[in-house]
Amino acid sequence: MGLVLFPGDDDVLSPDISWSYTGFSMFRQWLAQVDGFTLAEMEGFGGDRQWSSVSTTLAPLLNHPDADGPDLAPAQCAAMLSRLEALLEHQPDDSDPILRRRMEDVHQLVAVLRFCVDMDVELIFG
């Protein structure tokens, strides 16, 4: 079992991205670290730090239930998109296979978010 993020356009040919639940957890932990905080310290992830205490446009993705939960609106996708595209612009040396995998995930997620923004549809967690 795993998690798929996809546009809410009812078209099976639209881009999507999938992870195992463990893979998604590791991806979110990495994104939080990149944005300067530790996900395990956050409320809902074992800690008591409030989400309002961190400044990240990635909060809708980072603080989302693994499955179900609310769909993300195109405006939320657009806000996250700009941050993720910035990560792609500053790609570090990709000799690290884990980092290379994280950047591939970012690239795929950017494609899905870009589609959601361009088509004005929500991002669905399924």
Total Cβ atoms within 10 A of residue 105: 19
Q: How far is CA 92 from CA 44, 50, 62, in A?
A: 30, 30, 22
For residue 8, what are its two tokens? 């809410």
Cα–Cα distance measured from residue 65 to residue 70, given in angstroms and rounded to the nearest whole number: 9
Given a cut of 90, whether residue 95 has pLDDT beyond it is no
Average pLDDT value for the chain? 92
This prediction's pTM = 0.92
> DSSP character for 41?
G
Angle between helices 21-34 and 97-119 (to 10 degrees): 90
For residue 104, what are its two tokens? 């591939």
Q: Residue 92 has what pLDDT?
A: 66
Closest listed residue to residue 56, CA positions, set 85, 35, 27, 31:
35
Bridge partners of 72?
A: 123
pLDDT tens column, 17-51: 999 999 999 999 999 999 999 999 999 999 999 99
Alpha-helical regions (H) of the chain: 21-34, 59-62, 74-89, 97-119
pLDDT tens column, 63-75: 998 877 899 999 9
Asked if residues 115 and 2 have their Cβ atoms less than 8 Å apart, the reply is no
Cα–Cα distance measured from residue 27 to residue 15, given in angstroms and rounded to the nearest whole number: 19
